[in-house]
Each structure stands twice: as structure tokens, then as C-alpha cells.
């Protein structure tokens, strides 16, 4: 497996755990770290041994405390645009991946950390997590998709308030808003993520991947999500897993899906 400066990767039972590993900087996303995340996510796409991924941060304090402010401080109008576009491209790769990616939010998820978690398909937070987009405190705004994905997840009014105040909210409040799916004690966080992943991994992989496309289509103004759904439904019906799934039901046995 590739080794990284700022990430730790482990592959266990088909689950690739990607751990942001810059504890001294509360796992802040340097440009190099974002590039490494891109490469790790590319592995999720390409490696048949990887069935899904969990993204988390090292240590008990932070998931990711934002983009690295020492690098942001150096940006000009020209370099800032490509900085934002590059981060957006990597986070879109996560969102569009046809294998499940879960964020295990183990503490502060601020700025780029909140944006990274929002790009994942499912978010589970530990009870100590604090989540927010505090960029306006620095004279900037979220540039890695935060204004768009927060609005999609919590609605316009609450997104306006959270981004304009820069408030960091506790995990339970984030759950009440629909920003995270579950809140668990920190010691149970990874087990909860693995449990969700294992439930998904015994389902038909092709169907699961197409579910991701369809739900993303619901939020894409340029796409007719109903047509995407009908096409995906038809594609499933041409798959070997469809035959296996329906036969297994009729034969009262557990299906054995292959992803074909």
C-alpha cells in the first residue's frame, strides 16, 4: 500500500480506513494533505479489494480543524481560485464515488474538515465533536463546497445562520439539523462506522453504487434525477446480482452478490 506523509491507510475486511495524520496541527488540511486524500480516494475507486472507506482524524481531539491557515494566509486572488477548485474537485470525487464513504467525525470538524465530512455519503460523530464553518472569522468563506453542501444538508435558513455566524455546534445539535446521521460515545465511533459499512457491504454493490448516483442527481440542477433513477433501475435489472437477489429471496436463502 502507498505510504503518505499526512495520512495513515489500513485495509481490513474490504474497508479502507483513511486517517488524516497531522495531530500537532489538529489534522488541518495542508495542500499536500488534500493531494494525498485525492490519491487515497483514487484507490477506493480503483482497488477491487476496497469495498468502502471510512475517513477519520488521528487522536481524540480533532477530525480536521480546517484547511491549514498558514497556507491560506499566503493566497492571492489568483492562487485562491485554483486552491478552492482543487479542493472542490477532490471532495466531489468523494461524493461521486460509487463505493460508500463514511466520515467518522472524532472531534473538531471545522472549515475544510466540515466540508470533507459533508462530501462523504454518511457522517457519524463522536459526542465530543464540534462542527462548523468559521471561515468568516478569518475574512474568507468556505471554498471547498461548504456553502453548497451545508445548504443541501440543513436547508437555506440554517446554512445562512451557521456560515454567517461561524458558530461551532455540538454533535447533538448537528444531528438534530441532519448534518450528522448518528452521535455515539467516542470509544464506539469506529465500531459504529464499521457496523453501518458492513450492513451496506452485504447488499448488491452495483445497486448501492447507483443509489449514490441517483441521490446525487436529486441535487444536480442539470440532471433529471427521475430519469437517472429509471436508467439505474433498468441497469440493475440487467445484472447478475438482480437474478441472485430475487432467486435468493424465493429460495429463502442469503444472497451472494458479486457486483456483476
- Could you list the active site residues? 115, 135
Residue range at the interface with ligand COA (CB under 6 A); choices 94-102, 103-111, 192-200, 241-249 = 103-111
Binding pattern for the stretch 61-90 against ligand COA, x by CB under 6 A and - elsewhere: ----xxxxxx-x------------------
How many residues bind ligand COA (CB under 6 A)? The answer is: 17
| Phi, psi (rounded to 5 degrees) for 205 | -60, -40
Dihedral sign for Cα atoms in the order 178, 184, 187, 191: negative
What is the spatial order of strands in the sheet that 52-57 belongs to?
Answer: 7-12, 15-20, 52-57, 101-105, 122-126, 182-184
Residue range at the interface with ligand COA (CB under 6 A); choices 45-53, 79-87, 109-117, 252-260 = 109-117
Answer yes or no: are the C-beta atoms of 150 and 133 closer than 8 Å.
yes
CA 33 to chain centre: 16
Answer yes or no: are the C-beta atoms of 168 and 134 closer than 8 Å.
yes
Pairing state between β 7-12 and 52-57: unpaired
**Cβ nearer to ligand COA, comparing 9 with 129:** 129
H-type alpha helices, the chain: 31-46, 69-72, 77-96, 112-119, 146-154, 156-165, 171-177, 189-201, 205-218, 225-237, 240-250
**Of residues 83, 91, 108, 257, which one binds ligand COA by CB under 6 A?**
108
Rounded least distance, CB 31 to ligand COA, Å: 12
Q: Which of the residues 130 through 189 are near ligand COA (CB under 6 A)?
A: 134-135, 138
Rounded least distance, CB 140 to ligand COA, Å: 7
Rounded least distance, CB 235 to ligand COA, Å: 40
Distance between CA atoms of residues 155 and 80, nearest Å: 27
**Cβ nearer to ligand COA, comparing 68 with 241:** 68
Answer yes or no: are the C-beta atoms of 83 and 136 closer than 8 Å.
no
Distance between CA atoms of residues 34 and 68, nearest Å: 10
**Of residues 18, 105, 110, 212, which one binds ligand COA by CB under 6 A?**
110
**Cβ nearer to ligand COA, comparing 69 with 230:** 69
Rounded least distance, CB 238 to ligand COA, Å: 45
Rounded least distance, CB 93 to ligand COA, Å: 20
Binding pattern for the stretch 18-57 against ligand COA, x by CB under 6 A and - elsewhere: -------xx-x-----------------------------
Binding site for ligand COA (CB under 6 A): 25-26, 28, 65-70, 72, 108, 110-112, 134-135, 138
Amino acid at each position: 500500500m502507498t505510504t503518505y506523509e499526512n495520512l495513515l491507510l489500513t485495509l481490513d475486511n474490504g474497508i479502507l480506513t483513511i486517517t488524516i495524520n497531522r495531530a500537532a496541527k489538529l489534522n488541518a488540511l495542508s495542500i499536500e494533505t488534500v493531494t494525498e486524500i485525492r490519491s487515497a480516494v483514487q484507490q477506493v475507486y480503483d482497488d477491487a479489494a476496497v469495498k468502502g472507506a471510512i475517513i477519520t482524524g488521528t487522536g481524540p481531539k480533532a477530525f480536521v480543524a480546517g484547511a491549514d491557515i498558514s497556507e491560506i494566509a499566503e493566497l492571492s486572488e489568483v492562487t485562491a481560485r485554483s486552491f478552492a477548485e482543487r479542493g472542490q474537485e477532490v471532495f466531489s470525487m468523494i461524493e461521486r464515488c460509487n463505493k460508500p464513504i463514511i466520515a467518522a467525525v472524532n472531534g473538531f470538524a471545522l472549515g475544510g474538515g466540515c466540508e470533507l465530512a459533508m462530501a462523504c455519503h454518511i457522517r457519524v460523530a463522536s459526542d465530543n465533536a464540534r462542527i462548523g464553518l468559521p471561515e468568516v472569522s478569518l475574512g474568507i468563506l468556505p471554498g471547498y463546497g461548504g456553502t453548497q453542501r451545508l445548504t443541501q444538508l440543513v436547508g437555506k435558513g440554517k446554512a445562512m445562520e451557521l456560515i454567517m455566524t461561524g458558530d461551532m455546534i455540538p454533535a447533538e445539535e448537528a444531528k438534530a439539523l441532519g448534518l450528522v446521521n448518528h452521535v455515539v460515545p467516542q470509544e464506539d465511533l469506529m465500531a459504529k462506522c464499521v457496523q453501518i459499512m458492513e450492513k451496506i457491504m452485504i447488499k448488491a454493490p452495483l445497486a448501492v453504487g447507483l443509489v449514490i448516483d441517483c441521490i446525487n442527481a436529486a441535487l444536480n440542477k442539470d440532471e433529471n434525477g427521475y430519469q437517472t433513477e429509471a436508467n439505474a433501475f433498468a441497469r440493475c435489472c440487467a445484472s447478475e446480482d438482480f437474478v441472485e437477489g430475487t432467486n435468493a429471496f424465493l429460495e429463502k436463502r442469503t444472497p451472494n452478490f458479486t457486483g456483476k
